[in-house]
Amino acid sequence: MKVAIGSDHGGFSLKVVVVALLQKLGHDVDDVGCFDGESVDYPQFADNVCGKVSRGDAEKGILICGTGIGMSMAANKHGSIRAALCSEQYTARMSREHNDANILCMGERVTGAGVAEEIVRTWLGTPFAGGRHQRRVELFSSL
Ligand code: RB5
């Protein structure tokens, strides 16, 4: 799967871990940065990754900042983006099954690397359940 990923400085170290996992799992990774711990503005990276997912240049996206909050707020400004901020596996699974999330957000200062890896594995491996959830997700576009 083509996965776009981005972080700010607060999420850079966890991004390194997640990129390595994605590559190990055989995904095609499009890393938009940042590429070091220098201070940057997270909305720019959210916009870049969300643009790729919206245009179909990537199937899914992953955004990491210090808390995951800023990235999720910025990502959900995009009309076709459904970004889920997850810090454990249950919400990661449900965000796919019920909400068809196309962006996963995590916080490096909240979630340790081992849990983050499990979240990513679960999130990428869980299909959307459809049915009544399809109708609900479609209602987003009328809001
Ligand atoms: C950067 O210090 C921090 O504000 C950012 O990574 C993120 O947590 C914002 O939501």
Mean pLDDT for each consecutive 10-residue tract of the chain (143 residues)?
99 98 98 98 98 98 99 97 98 98 98 98 98 97 92
| Distance in angstroms (rounded) separating the CA atoms of residues 35 and 76 | 24
Residue nearest to atom 9 of ligand 1 (CA): 70
Provide the 10 A C-beta neighbour count for residue 122: 20
- State the pLDDT at residue 37: 97
What DSSP designation does 10 have?
G
Q: Is the CB of 108 under 6 A from ligand 1?
A: no
- State the pLDDT at residue 56: 98
Count of domains observed in the chain: 1
- State the pLDDT at residue 62: 99
Residue 98 designated active-site? yes
- State the pLDDT at residue 9: 98
Whether pTM > 0.85 for this model: the answer is yes
CA dist list (Å): 14 to 37, 80, 118: 11, 26, 13
Range of the domain at 96: 2-142
Which residues are CB-contacts of 112 (< 8 A; sequence separation ≥ 6)? none
Characterise 26 by phi-psi region: left (phi > 0), alpha (psi -120 to 50), beta (else): left
For the chain, count helices (H), then strands (E).
Answer: 6, 5
- State the pLDDT at residue 13: 98
Is 101 in contact with 95 (CB distance < 8 Å)? yes
CATH number at residue 127: 3.40.1400.10
- State the pLDDT at residue 116: 99
Q: Is the CB of 65 under 6 A from ligand 1?
A: yes
For 69-95, the pLDDT digits (tens) are: 999 999 999 999 999 999 999 999 999
- State the pLDDT at residue 87: 98
- State the pLDDT at residue 69: 99
